[in-house]
A and B are shown apart, each in its own frame.
Chain A
Amino acid sequence: MPSAPPDQNVRSEELLADVIIRLIGDARHVAVGNASPIPATAALTARALGNGRPYVSLLGSAKHTFFTDGGRELFDCAGQGRVDVFFLSGGQIDGQANINLVSVGDYRHPKARFPGSFGSSYLYYVVPRVILFRTEHSRRTLVERVDFISAPGTSAGHVFRTGGPVALVTNRCLFAFDRGRKRFALASVHPGHTVEEVLEHTGFDFDWPREVPITPAPSAQTLQAMRGVAARELSEVYPQFAAAVFGIEQRRTA
């Protein structure tokens, strides 16, 4: 299948953020965890485009959060169903949307170690729309079965669960997750990438339609909001990223 050429004027980070903005859709509250500059870009851009809606909570930010009750407030909020969208990633993600943020190989004698599960082992269950995000789309990261389950993609019927995965965004494509079938389906491939390439670099089985759409480019309005208001706000939490992607000069004071 021929691929559409990538738009030279749109960076890959901007395209991925735009994909996420559309997944966020209309939400009241979007929370973004640690080490997630592209989801943070998307959430801040969505807020700029929505004139203040959704509420955005960036972990690690003093400014972009309304929490006043310490670290537990995000989790308490989510436990009540007051967080609509959250983002998770994984050193490994498998075809049933199980995520591994801990280790490769045997847990007690790991071959590789990742930072840890953060809040995933809880938030994956209670946030209605969890967007999985991983920029490295390879057979190393997208595997048939994860070595350690930080949080499972689905749960047995008797387990309390009001949330879970809706999609997986990678540098090559967008997958949608079907909770009933416990499977991903290819929703679109990004410009410059192909279905064949996605098949070659994905370690798990997934479904795909006869005609796979190309991921659309961000609109001029979205790019303006992203490169303007959102980029400046982003630099407080992700100064290195904001400098590299959006050319925002770093400040020396907090």
Chain B
Amino acid sequence: MTTRRKDETQAMALLARTVDEALVAIADGCVLLVARESSGVAMEATRALIRRGVKRLHLVACPTSSLQADLLIGAGCVDTLETSAVSLGEFGAAPQFTAATIAGTIRMLDATCPALHAALQAAEKGVPFMPLRGLIGSDVLAERPDWRVIDNPFGEGDPVVLVPALKGDVALFHAPMADRAGNVWIGTNRELATMGHAAQKTVVTVETLYDGSLLDDPQLAAGTLAGFYVEAVAVAPRGAWPLGLPGHYAADADHLAEYARLAATAEGFAHYLERHVHAQRAA
């Protein structure tokens, strides 16, 4: 496998030798955009970040999260969480998220899904805000002093909410494949492109490398985030495990059920981290 250094070629994304190498861009305290479960969650990279001991993340789950946010919160990596919801879906509430919000150990910025999509779209357009319907009269809006209500300047007596552009430092997700130029195939999961456009840097793990250029085939190019936006790519087979990667593999239900059971207590969560996150260091 060839390795291109960012500082050597300037224009090219780094094809990292390891997941750890790709994650260098994710610094303590950064605004980290991560994907929803059905779009491709970089779980191998998440475990690597926890092993590295990343701290004080402003985690933005776009627009929701499950195991990834729960693990990062439980491992003490998150200072602020901005999202519409965190849940383990069929496996119940996200235990560490629930405990942290009740204990007040993380700063919570509750949002609603379309507000996060709109805020990312504002960032990708380079405009300061985006208007959005709904929200008026909700406590979601009342608890967000950074969101505003204005009178529709094109109407009369029509209040409308504005959400400010959400510029991430780094976007992180897992995708089926990338080529050696850092072009990443995301299929119809277009919010991954929006995240990539909105963030300063994008880091991606992929199942496999594609031989040739994803941009040469118009059918593949239509579902591709260009390497132009991508800082680093690392190959991580089954990199979404124990979550699934739609079209490739299903979630590991037995493992997620075990996680839900263990993470319900501090001791159980510590045991999970030791066994499934830290024990991999030596592997």
Chain A contacts to B: CB under 8 angstroms: 34-35, 37, 59-62, 67-73, 75, 79, 101-103, 107-126, 148-152, 155-156, 158-160, 238-241, 250-254
Closest to A63 in B: B246
Tell whether, in the assembled complex, residue A158 and residue B253 are in contact, meaning their CB atoms are under 8 Å apart. no
Chain A residues with CB under 8 Å of B90's CB are: 35, 37, 238-241
The answer to whether B159 has its CB under 8 Å from any CB of chain A is: yes
What 0/1 pattern do residues 112 to 146 of B give for CB contact below 8 A with A?
11110110010000000000111111111101000
What 0/1 pattern do residues 209 to 233 of B give for CB contact below 8 A with A?
0000000000000000000000000
Chain B residues with CB under 8 Å of A124's CB are: 134
Tell whether, in the assembled complex, residue B85 and residue A101 are in contact, meaning their CB atoms are under 8 Å apart. yes
Tell whether, in the assembled complex, residue B160 and residue A160 are in contact, meaning their CB atoms are under 8 Å apart. yes
- B86, B113, B118, B158: residue with the most chain A Cβ atoms closer than 10 Å: B113
The answer to whether B84 has its CB under 8 Å from any CB of chain A is: yes
Q: Known contacts A117-B110, A254-B249; can you find 17 more A-B pairs with CB under 8 A? A: A60-B38, A62-B246, A70-B190, A71-B39, A71-B62, A71-B117, A107-B143, A112-B102, A118-B64, A122-B113, A122-B135, A125-B135, A150-B138, A151-B140, A152-B137, A159-B137, A241-B90
- A72, A115, A156: residue with the most chain B Cβ atoms closer than 10 Å: A115
How many chain B residues touch A (CB < 8 A): the figure is 60
Chain B residues with CB under 8 Å of A121's CB are: 112, 115, 134-135, 138, 140-141
Closest to A116 in B: B85
Chain A residues with CB under 8 Å of B193's CB are: 70
Closest to A241 in B: B90
Tell whether, in the assembled complex, residue B137 and residue A118 are in contact, meaning their CB atoms are under 8 Å apart. no
Tell whether, in the assembled complex, residue A110 and residue B112 are in contact, meaning their CB atoms are under 8 Å apart. no
User: Interface on chain A toward B: helix, strand, loop, or mixed SS?
Assistant: loop
With both chains docked as a complex, state the minimum distance between the C-beta of B245 and any C-beta of chain A, in angstroms: 7
Tell whether, in the assembled complex, residue A110 and residue B101 are in contact, meaning their CB atoms are under 8 Å apart. yes
Closest to A162 in B: B133
Out of A72, A111, A115, A117, name the residue touching B194 (CB < 8 Å): A72
- A114, A120, A122, A151: residue with the most chain B Cβ atoms closer than 10 Å: A122
Known: A68-B190, A72-B121, A239-B253. A115 touches B87 (CB 8 A): yes
With both chains docked as a complex, state the minimum distance between the C-beta of B37 and any C-beta of chain A, in angstroms: 7
Tell whether, in the assembled complex, residue A125 and residue B188 are in contact, meaning their CB atoms are under 8 Å apart. no
Chain B residues with CB under 8 Å of A34's CB are: 64, 85, 87, 89
Closest to A73 in B: B190
Tell whether, in the assembled complex, residue A155 and residue B136 are in contact, meaning their CB atoms are under 8 Å apart. yes
Q: Report Cα–Cα, A107/B113, bound state, in Å.
A: 19
With both chains docked as a complex, state the minimum distance between the C-beta of B115 and any C-beta of chain A, in angstroms: 7
Tell whether, in the assembled complex, residue B188 and residue A118 are in contact, meaning their CB atoms are under 8 Å apart. no
The answer to whether B244 has its CB under 8 Å from any CB of chain A is: yes
